[in-house]
Structures are given as structure tokens and as C-alpha cells.
Amino acid sequence: MKKARYFAEAERLYIVEQNTINEIASRLKLAEKTVRLWKEEGQWEEKRKQSLAQKQSFHEELYGFERFLMASIKEDMQANRKVDPGRLYTFARILPLITKVKDYEDIVGKDQSKPTFDKNNIPAELIEMIRKEVMGEKL
């Protein structure tokens, strides 16, 4: 009965929210042993690693896109060319996300490496995210 009621939420708390076993047990009023068993049974550790890898990959893509867009706008401004209003609008909409990108940059800076961005190879997921979140289009 407990499993049917709490398993999915406990899994989400562990994988997405990055809560500890103790925090989950306390929050859902479950025994720590129960949560540990569910963790093993549901392979939460592997799922957490996958989730973190996907998140890091997305941050790399977003960081690269933001840097590319900023550089292209700056280049046009320095060359006294008219900057496409769509690019300016997109950049303005991305600005609230820059804090997250900066956090990512700080993490990457510790590794002494920076992600690269190939403007000819933009992932479809990134394009969809931009259309939905930045341009306000419905998919």
C-alpha cells in the first residue's frame, strides 16, 4: 500500500530533487530502510546519474547558444550592421537564464575547459526549447 502511494514521489525526490534517503524518509514519513530498498529496486542511482548527465548536456548547449548569439550580435554592432530584431528579442528573453548559465560556467571553469558550440549542428531539442520558452511558440 505504501509503495503504490509513495514510490513515484520518493523516486522523483531522489532523482530530480537530489534529496537524500534520510530527507525522503522524513518528508514522506517512511522508514529509511523502505526508501533504501525502493532505491535499489528502482535503480534510482543509475537514473539520477542519467538525469544529471542530461542536465549537464543541456546546460552546455544552452551556454554555447547564448555565447554564439551574443557574439553574433556584438559582431554586427561593431561592424555598424543592423541587428536583426528577432535575435535581439531572443537574447533579451534568454537574459533571465544567464544566471543559470553563469553557474554552469563557474563549474566548467573549475575544469579549465569550456564547451564549444557548432552553429551548423544545433540539436533539435534545443531549437524546440527556444521556440517554446524564448519565442513563446506552442509546439
Decide if 59 is inside a domain.
Answer: yes
Decide if 60 is inside a domain.
Answer: yes
> Which is more confidently placed, 34 or 118?
34
Decide if 139 is inside a domain.
Answer: no
Same domain, 59 and 121: yes
User: Across residues 59-78, what is the average pLDDT?
Assistant: 84
Number of domains in the chain: 2
Q: Please state, rounded to an integer, the average pLDDT across all residues of the chain.
A: 79
Decide if 127 is inside a domain.
Answer: yes
> Which is more confidently placed, 5 or 54?
5
Tell me the pLDDT tens digit for each residue of 88-101: 888 888 777 766 66
Same domain, 33 and 64: no
pTM higher than the cut 0.75:
no
Neighbours of 56 (CB within 10 A): 14
